[in-house]
Amino acid sequence: MAAPCPLPPPDPQFVLRGTQSPVHALHFCEGRQAQGHPLLFSGSQSGLVHIWSLQMRRALTTLDGHGGQCVTWLQTLPQGHQLLSQGRDLKLCLWDLAEGRNAVVDSVPLESVGFCRSSILVQGQPRWMLAVPGKGSNEVQILEMPSKTSVCTLKPEADAKLGMPMCLRLWQADCSPRPLLLAGYEDGSVALWDVSEQKVCSRIACHEEPVMDLDFDSQKAKGISGSAGKALAVWRLDGQQALQVCGTHQLTNPGIAEVTIRPDRKILATAGWDHRIRVFHWRKMQPLAVLAFHSAAIQCVAFAADGLLAAGSKDQRISLWSLYPRA
Amino acid sequence: MMAVFDTPEEAFGVLRPVCVQLTKTQTVENVEHLQTRLQAVSDSALQELQQYILFPLRFTLKTPGPKRERLIQSVVECLTFVLSSTCVKEQELLQELFSELSACLYSPSSQKPAAVSEELKLAVIQGLSTLMHSAYGDIILTFYEPSILPRLGFAVSLLLGLAEQEKSKQIKIAALKCLQVLLLQCECQDHPRSLDELEQKQLGDLFASFLPGISTTLTRVITGDFKQGHSIVVSSLKIFYKTVSFIMADEQLKRISKVQAKSAVEHRVAELMVHREADWVKNTGNKLTILIKKIIECVSVHPHWKVRLELVELVEDLLLKCSQSLVESAGPLLKALVGLVNDESPEVQAQCNKVLRHFADQKVVVGNKALADILSESLHSLATSLPRLMTSQDDQGKFSTLSLLLGYLKLLGPKINFVLNSVAHLQRLSKALIQVLELDVADIKIVEERCWNSDDLNASPKTSATQPWNHIQRRYFRFFTDERIFMLLRQVCQLLGYYGNLYLLVDHFMELYRQSVVYRKQAAMILNELVTGAAGLEVEDLHEKHIKTNPEELREIVTSILEEYTSQENWYLVTCIETEEMGEELMMEHPGLQAITSGEHTSQVTSFLAFSKPSPIVCSMNSNIWQICIQLEGIGQFAYALGKDFCLLLMSTLYPVLEKAGDQTLLISQVATSTMMDICHACGYDSLQHLINQNSDYLVNGISLNLRHLALHPHTPKVLEVMLRNSDANLLPLVADVVQDVLATLDQFYDKRAASFVSVLHALLAALAQWFPDTGNLRHLHEQSLGEEGSHLNQRPATLENSTTAEDIEQFLLNYLKEKDVADGNVSDFDNEEEEQPVPPKVEENDTHPDVEPPLPLQIQMAMDVMERCIHLLSDKNLQIRLKVLRTLGSKCGDFLRSRFCKDVLPKLAGSLVTQAPISARAGPVYSHTLAFKLQLAVLQGLGPLCERLDLGEGDLNKVADACLIYLSAKQPVKLQEAARSVFLHLMKVDPDSTWFLLIELYCPTQFTPPHPSLHPVQLRGASRQQNPYMANVLRLLKELQ
């Protein structure tokens, strides 16, 4: 490790057990919805969503809405007590969690069986935009929610041969209201779509293996992607909305399931198939820690607003880590 | 007596002759005649004739010339009789009678009361008292006009003189009572009217002249010999404070004008009058303060509680009425009050508390700047001298000092923060507390007492008290022995926690806790009480509107203290010398942990060199044990303080507490168990099992994380063991999860720490077997064989009965031959020696997941994983581990192990027992602390159950028996004898006959007569009936066999 003063890697602050199934998705929920005590949502291979109280370190409720099929993505909507869950049962469920309710109030049928996670962009209340893998194997579908109106389908040019979309990130530059979509593809490339014009602004082939996940820091206009291979790629977006590879970081073992930048954009964490969580300094891309605790591949990592890191693994455990706590 | 003469006329007729007679001849007899007649006259008639009757009496008193005392006495008595039945309606008469009566005790030659008989003195005092009571209506007030001052003054000084100097207690009391009457303090029902402001002022002006005399004289009386009797002191105190509080009343004084009003009294009297203006008040106040201090000093230690009780009244009265005029005295007065808060008499205590509450209600302290300042100052100065007092005073002195401290805290309430905010004073205070709470850690028993069986968690919290400190461990302090002092100290800390700034205090004492091992235990005790106090559950609050620490904040504070308590360096302290479980690598990695803090310890606390007996090592281990216990008790107290809120802290506390419940040191394990009960109570669990079961997820979290640092947490497997015992099948997934960690850790440390893991695996298999009862054949067969064994054992006594017939013997012989035949190998079928394999369970075909292999049930998978490890451990080089593994495996799959055991293990075990036996037989008491002893004990304890479960053959059983026989000798350590007996008890179950024979050969208590004369008498080796070292144990075992 290149860290100047390597301390022994820390232990998890605590470990949540009880999903009884590999954990595929994690999402922190804070603020009003949780009455001051942050909650953690986890989605498991057995199709259940567990809602964990971080204060009690126990599961409060279990949501069963995906017919036993793996839950791959979880997201809460900022305005209310609503949770989105994406399952491999080809359904995206919208849950109402207000006042102790836990019922599916709406669902969006999906047409792709892949592992591609969806993405949302909340522009103005109450409307929001949803990007989901589309019907055609290389398509991304954009919906306006909550009306579920299809806005458009983003389909690469026929000769591009990008393969399936693997990961999606909707965003919006501060200076422009145009929604943009970053998508990682099976062929190892990352493309920037202008959603309104339905065209690819820029595309870079930054991995040799399928892109598994990406995260984007819109302030620095810089993003990172991880693949099934042994490298992390850092790329940025210039003024002309062209993607450029800034560098790659080689890993000892292949396979990154998820990469997440901490909300304060200081550090980032990756979920490794090699059972390890890796933590990097975001600006310098300096490796800070390799966290070994899990006994199987890590499938997801998430940061809470206060910096708490959660990792979900195939070994059915969710580990929580307090790293470089901010003063 | 019935009045005979109702009308004045009749009465006059009767009385006239005697009155005339008396006027003519003044003799005792004539006075007595008069009095006799008077008794037959009704009160109303008497009133009519009052002046007439009084005339001869007064005439007698006034007649110049020497008089016999006896005559005066009878005249006074008669006068008193008349006055007691009549009213004095004229002021003039009142004044004259007053003067005439007073004059009876006047001796012109001296200032002192005349040297007359005690009877006369008493009569005159009674007379004066009765006279004042007979004054009709308002004339009593007009009596107290300035012109009476000289005469009144004379009477007052006369009475004071009597009260001070008389020998007779009766006279003293009468004089004091009379003084009360004169000063209008009489408590009888005859003075209903209360005085208005003007009247009060006039009387105050008048009485002010007597104040110096009254106060000094009474002070002398009060501070006089304790032996003079408490009632005199009580009365004097009462007059003192009533007089002072009347004359010095702030209410009155604030109405006094600066310039004295011209009064129309003659010059002589005017000179005697006092004008109570500011200067006079200040001077008098100062002088009174001196007297009050004297009184307090003397009375607060008065042996009679009624006197101390009166002191409380004095304080209350003076502080309520004269807090401004007597501002200088307020400090001493409060101190006196506060000092009596913990008086040994419950009456005084109750009154003190009542007064304190009254003060608080009236905002006497909090609302009154001056008094609050005085109290703060007193607390300041007490805090300053406290460290010195705590070292220099004896228990009684400490008790009163701490009572005083407690009282100040109670009285100041929330205002104690003024004192606490001063760093210097907080330091003084804390220094004193820390100093006095120092424990005596020289008791060697604490380290020695071991807990052999730590698994008993069956106690129910319902049996324990609701308050944690009712079962607080008795401890010994270096600087005091009186338990009451400890209670006081706790109350002091609780009050500090209740009123004080908790953040400040906790910070301060946490700092001391961290600073040095010398302070650590005391600081922890204080922290525990601070939190208890802050919760306000036990504090008697005098300041009702005080806002308690809010629960959220309290929980945060508790969380931070708990973090410190359960941190690696404060929770895992060396408490025993054994290194067995510590592991060598720990000592190498963390020399700090092992360095038992002895160096620091001796520096300040005690130079242990002075005592040669307990070694520094023992002392510091004791100290460590106490620290852990105090911290454990603290956790219990925190739970009590937080109630249900404590549930949120279980995730971090349950694991460490449970760990300590399994500690080898008896004290620690006891305290930890009671802490767990406190937790049950607070969080609403009905039993320890319930607590553990419901919080297994937290425990698993702790276990799993600690297994990652096993060297630092060597007791982790033990916690899992306890958890397993208290879990049920519902927790299987959780258990499976942590078992993965356990097995992974075992794989990593199989060479160093296998021993502690094997017992966990054993517990796991036992738990699995219990949660998932086997319904297959194996178990059934096993039970059957057990049953047969049992019945075989039961049949045995029948064959020993005396009514043996020839047929029985024949049958026995035949059976014997047959069995011998079998033993020689002439048997057709052998037991099936196949290995027992877990039966693969039938799993339903599941078409929906064609890519997933049907998994084994979780419990079977776990059991297989465990067995796999155990097989490897069978070849471990550590004997104890091999034994434990064998027991684990033996209980589950006996047959297959038998051969390996007999071939590889048994010879070594037997060999080691035989070679070690002579050594242990010779060894002294210290031997029981050696590793060799523990090994012997473990082997002996383990062999019995193994032999039984593995169902060993005769030859191997003999090997076992031979090796263990020597341990039945009385020369062996008791524990080894006990263990050896247990081996034989097991052997009896397997083969009772040969065991019996073996024992009988060692020592035979009876002669065996052959059942039939045709048989030869048996000669047994053990039948010598000589005393031998095996006798006792053999007899005990034989008794079991019958």
Q: What is the pLDDT of residue B605?
A: 36
Is the pLDDT assigned to residue B942 strictly greater than 80? yes
φ, ψ of residue A202 to 5 degrees: the values are -160, 155
Q: pLDDT confidence of B589, banded at 50, 70, 90? A: very low
CA distances from B853 to A239, B21, B843, B849, B897 (A): 54, 139, 10, 8, 32
pLDDT of residue A281: 93
Compute the nearest-CA separation of B743 from chain A (Å). Answer: 12
A45, A56, A320: best mutation site toward chain B, by most B Cβ within 10 Å? A56
Nearest 5°: CA angle at B821, between B815 and B825? 145
| Domains of chain A, CATH where assigned | 21-110 (2.40.10)
B590 interaction partners in chain A (CB closer than 8 Å): none
* Chain B positions in Cβ-Cβ contact with residue A18 (cut-off 8 Å): 697, 733-734
pLDDT value, residue B201: 86
Q: Which chain A residues have a beta carbon less than 8 Å from that of B700?
A: 17
Q: State the pairing for strand pair A222-227/A71-76.
A: unpaired
Nearest CA in chain B to A18: B734
Contacts of B447 (CB under 8 A, 6+ apart): B575, B576, B618, B621, B622, B625, B665
Instruction: Give me the residues of A, 25-64, that contact B with CB < 8 A.
Output: 55-58
**Rounded Cα distance, B68 and B79, in Å:** 17
- Local confidence band at B891 (pLDDT 50, 70, 90 cut-offs): low
Q: Give the gap in angstroms from C-alpha A12 to the nearest C-alpha of chain B.
A: 8
**Partners of residue A17 in chain B, C-beta under 8 Å:** 697, 700-701, 733-734, 737
Cross-chain residue pair A57–B651, CB shorter than 8 Å: yes
Question: Residue B841 has what pLDDT?
Answer: 44
Helices (H), B340-449: 346-361, 369-392, 395-412, 416-420, 423-436, 444-448
Least trusted range by pLDDT, from B417-426, B606-615, B925-934 = B606-615
Q: Does A11 touch chain B (CB under 8 A)?
A: yes
The pLDDT assigned to B222 comes to: 92
Q: Binning pLDDT at 50, 70 and 90, where does residue A192 land?
A: very high
Give the residue-averaged pLDDT of B930-955. 82
Q: Are B701 and A17 inside 8 Å of each other by CB? A: yes
CB contact A15 to B (< 8 Å): yes
Other Cβ atoms less than 10 A from the Cβ of B654: the count is 25
Give A52-110 pLDDT, tens digit per residue. Answer: 998 889 999 999 999 999 999 999 988 668 899 999 999 999 999 888 788 899 999 99
pLDDT bucket at B217, cuts 50 / 70 / 90: very high
Query: β-strands A287-292, A298-303: how paired?
Result: unpaired
- Residue B693 structure tokens: 């079961």
Q: What are phi and psi of A58, to 5 degrees?
A: -140, 155
The partner residue sitting opposite A58, judged by closest CB among B697, B704, B740, is B697
Whole-prediction pTM: 0.69
Q: What percent of chain B has pLDDT over 70?
A: 79
Lowest mean pLDDT among B61-75, B751-765, B821-835: B821-835
- Tokens 């790659």 locate to A248
Convert the pLDDT of each residue in B768-810 to its tens digit: 888 887 654 444 444 444 444 443 434 333 334 455 666 777 7
pLDDT digit string, tens, across residues B627-641: 999 999 999 999 999
pLDDT number for residue A171:
92
Measured between CB atoms, does B736 come within 8 Å of chain A? no
Indicate whether B844 pLDDT > 50. no
Is residue B708 less than 8 Å (CB to CB) from chain A?
Answer: yes
* pLDDT for residue A188 is more than 90: yes
Contacts of A55 in chain B (CB under 8 A): 648
B 628-687 residues with CB < 8 A to A: 648, 651
Note whether B248 and B284 are within 8 A (CB): yes
pLDDT of residue B801: 43
Mean per-residue pLDDT, B935-939: 86
Contact A136, A155 (CB under 8 A): yes
Partners of A287 in beta bridges:
A280
Q: What is the pLDDT of residue A185?
A: 94
Q: Which helix (H) or strand (E) holds A170?
A: strand A165-172
**Residue-level pLDDT at B552:** 87
User: How do residues B431-465 score in pLDDT, each as one tens digit?
Assistant: 889 988 988 877 766 666 765 544 445 444 444 44
- What are B391-404's pLDDT values in tens digits? 888 888 888 888 88
Residue B855's pLDDT band (boundaries 50, 70, 90)? low
Test mutation, A11, A13, A17, A275, chain B, max B CBs within 10 A: A17
Judge whether residue B813 has pLDDT over 60. Answer: yes
- Interface size A-B, in CB pairs within 8 Å, comes to 33
Evaluate if residue B655 carries a pLDDT over 80: yes
Interface mutation target, options A13, A15, A295, A313, chain B, most CBs of B under 10 Å: A15
Which of A14, A18, A56 lies nearest to residue B648, judging by beta carbons? A56
Count of residues making up chain B: 1042
A57, B704: Cβ pair inside 8 Å? no
Q: Are A229 and A254 in contact (CB under 8 A)?
A: yes
Nearest CB to B734 within list A14, A17, A293: A17
A240 pLDDT higher than 80: yes
- CA dist B419 and B781 (Å) reads 79
Is-contact B1038 B975, C-beta < 8 A? no
3-class DSSP state for residue B256?
coil
pLDDT exceeds cutoff 70 at A25:
yes
Give chain B's mean pLDDT: 79
Q: What is the pLDDT of residues A119-143, one digit of tens each?
A: 999 877 778 999 999 888 889 999 9
Residue B983 has phi, psi (to 5 degrees) of: -60, -45
Q: Give pLDDT, residue B457.
A: 53
* Res A166: pLDDT: 94
Residue B110 reports pLDDT greater than 70: no
Range from B97-101, B181-185, B880-884 carrying the lowest mean pLDDT: B880-884
More confident residue, B594 or B976: B976
B646-673 average pLDDT score: 90
* pLDDT above 90: residue A297: yes
CB contact under 8 A, B744 and A58: no
Q: Are B939 and B885 in contact (CB under 8 A)?
A: no
Are residues B759 and B884 in contact, defined by beta-carbon separation less than 8 angstroms?
yes
Mean pLDDT lowest among B651-665, B817-831, B939-953:
B817-831
Tokens 């066999």 — which residue?
Answer: B1041
DSSP class per residue in B784-814: HHHHHHHHHHHHHHHHHSS---HHHHHHHHH
Q: How far is B414 from chain A (nearest CA, A)?
A: 32
pLDDT at B536 over 90: no
DSSP state of B472: P
- pLDDT band of residue A309 (cuts 50, 70, 90) is very high
Least-confidence region, from B490-504, B542-556, B874-888: B874-888
B704 close to A (CB below 8 A): yes
Q: Does residue A196 belong to the interface with chain B, where contact is any CB pair within 8 Å?
A: no
B709 neighbourhood in chain A, CB within 8 Å: 11
Minimum-distance CB partner of A20 among B708, B733, B740: B733
For residue A293, the chain B residues in CB contact (below 8 A) are 708
